[in-house]
Amino acid sequence: MDAKLRSGFRDTRLINAKIRQIKKTITRPWTIMEICGGQTHAIKKFGLDQLLPSEIEFIHGPGCPVCVTSLELVDKALQIASLPNIVFTSYGDMLRVPGSNGDLFSVKANGGDIRVVYSPLDSLKIAQENPQKEVVFFAIGFETTAPANAMCVLQAKSLGITNFSMLVSHVCVPPAVRAILGSPNNRVQGFLAAGHVCTVMGYWEYLPIAEEFRVPIVVTGFEPLDILEGVYRVVRQLEKGTYDVENAYERLVTYEGNKAAQKIISQVFEVCDRKWRGIGTIPNSGWKLRPQFAEFDAENRFETQAIATQESPLCIAGLILQGLKKPFECSAFGTLCTPQTPLGATMVSSEGACAAYYQYSRNINSTQVSHG
């Protein structure tokens, strides 16, 4: 975002005015889940949870793609990356995500060719430049990254590149929202939906969810004023007893979303059940490569040994991802588990809730809190 435009969404006067509007509207406690880890980091970074009235409790959702990539798939990535003649590529955060026995950095330390990339096309270029090597891209992410990954597969097929494949771990937000609301332990009364996901997919998928579970859902951006506007709209609905889907991110999101991107996704991927780390299998919550692109599926291309997963017994990341616990409720938080020595993915990722609490919560002071 342009710096001048961004400054408007961080304007103190506008922020204080919106907070006053929320305070005038709220009459009782409400529990709101922000789905996206990027929103969690913004809330903690700007101290919005401190600025808002105490009646509002934020619950942090599973919207961190690195965090929810299943342990089985991380372990499979470690096995594939350890094979000879492999160049294993991924985003930086994934290199430090702990598997049952080590992480991708430990594979690299043992001689594996592990490379950080910023786009799947970077991996495709590596494959073109190294025809004698098998290049694997760890394709993680929500709906936001799926179009680029789909385009990369189409490009590989068009160019006839045969030494490139993807280890796919795509997950989708609406089924996760439905799973959270359907849980007997659910406490969520309203949702802030992730603006970037809705930029791709639109927000039509949320209407039946809001209707079935009678919860308001507001599509929200990532700047302080964006988030506060989303909170205001959720609170306004909760106080009125309504449960509609609203779009508070109109500068980027439309009802239908990016139809061209959706077409590319459906051309390359098909819906599948997907296991989420710390949560379990959510039906129809992921995408996998269609059969006509099976040649690019790393799970088909490489044989791996039987996997017996083992999470750290101290880590409560699964409960945090379900919104049932907060990071500070973990006995290992900030001591045995830090960004330098993570026990779980939520401490590793730049969108993880534990990383947000570690980075920002300990820096909150009175100068950051306004009671205007």
Residues 85 and 162 in one domain: yes
Q: Is residue 306 part of a domain?
A: no
Above 90 in pLDDT, residue 85?
yes
Q: What's the pLDDT at 197?
A: 96
Name the burial class of residue 28, with classes exposed (0-12), middle (13-18) and buried (19+) by CB atoms within 10 angstroms of its CB: exposed
CB 52 within 8 A of CB 82: no
Q: What's the pLDDT at 307?
A: 77
Bridge partners of residue 353, in order along the sequence: none
Residues 82 and 159 in one domain: yes
The DSSP H or E segment spanning 96 is: none
The predicted model scores a pTM of 0.90
- For 168-186, b where at least 16 C-beta lie within 10 A, e where not — what string? bbbbbbbbbbbbbbeeeeb
Q: What's the pLDDT at 47?
A: 93
Lowest mean pLDDT across 275-289, 327-341, 348-362: 348-362
CA 218 to chain centre: 17
Q: Is residue 305 part of a domain?
A: no
Lowest mean pLDDT across 131-140, 153-162, 297-306: 297-306
Per-residue tokens: 353: 């809730």
Residues 168 and 283 in one domain: yes
Residues 84 and 207 in one domain: no
Which CATH number is 262's domain given?
Answer: 3.40.50.11740
Q: What's the pLDDT at 92?
A: 87
Mean pLDDT of 94-114: 93
Which CATH number is 23's domain given?
Answer: 3.40.50.11750
Bridge partners of residue 217, in order along the sequence: 191, 245
Residues 281 and 345 in one domain: no
Q: Give the phi and the psi of residue 335 in degrees, each rounded to 5.
A: -120, -80
Q: What's the pLDDT at 372?
A: 34
CA–CA distance, 19 with 17 (Å, rounded to integer): 5
Above 80 in pLDDT, residue 305?
no
Q: What's the pLDDT at 3?
A: 65
The tens digit of pLDDT for each residue in 223-244 reads 999 999 999 999 999 999 999 9
Handedness of CA 20, 22, 24, 29 (dihedral sign): negative
The tens digit of pLDDT for each residue in 168-227 reads 999 999 999 999 999 999 999 999 999 999 999 999 999 999 999 999 999 999 999 999
Lowest mean pLDDT across 82-91, 298-307, 322-331, 361-370: 361-370
Q: Which residue type occupies 316?
A: I
Q: Give the phi and the psi of residue 202 in degrees, each rounded to 5.
A: 75, -170
Residues 219 and 188 in one domain: yes
Q: Is residue 23 part of a domain?
A: yes
Coil, helix or strand for 109?
A: helix
Residue 310 banded pLDDT, cuts 50, 70, 90:
confident
Mean pLDDT of 329-342: 93
Residue 370 banded pLDDT, cuts 50, 70, 90:
very low
Residues 127 and 265 in one domain: yes
Structural domain of 333: 317-365
Residues 109 and 167 in one domain: yes
Residues 142 and 266 in one domain: yes
Q: Is residue 308 part of a domain?
A: no
Residue 141 banded pLDDT, cuts 50, 70, 90:
very high
Full strand arrangement of the beta sheet holding 269-276: 113-116, 86-90, 134-141, 164-171, 280-289, 269-276
**Maximal CA-CA distance, the chain:** 66
Residues 74 and 156 in one domain: yes
The tens digit of pLDDT for each residue in 14-60 reads 999 999 999 999 999 999 999 999 999 999 999 999 999 999 999 99
Mean pLDDT of 94-111: 92
- Percent of the chain clearing pLDDT 70 (strictly above): 95
Strand 164-171 vs strand 280-289: parallel, antiparallel, or unpaired? Answer: antiparallel
The DSSP H or E segment spanning 306 is: none
Q: Is residue 226 part of a domain?
A: yes
Q: What's the pLDDT at 303?
A: 84
The tens digit of pLDDT for each residue in 241-281 reads 999 999 999 999 999 999 999 999 999 999 999 999 988 99
Give me the number of domains the chain comprises.
3
Residues 163 and 24 in one domain: no
Residues 45 and 143 in one domain: no
Arithmetic mean of pLDDT over the chain: 92
Q: Is residue 225 part of a domain?
A: yes
Q: Is residue 138 part of a domain?
A: yes
Per-residue tokens: 174: 């609406």
Per-residue tokens: 340: 């330098």
Q: What's the pLDDT at 349?
A: 87
Per-residue tokens: 121: 């096309």
Q: Is residue 370 part of a domain?
A: no
Above 70 in pLDDT, residue 296?
yes
The tens digit of pLDDT for each residue in 70-81 reads 999 999 999 999
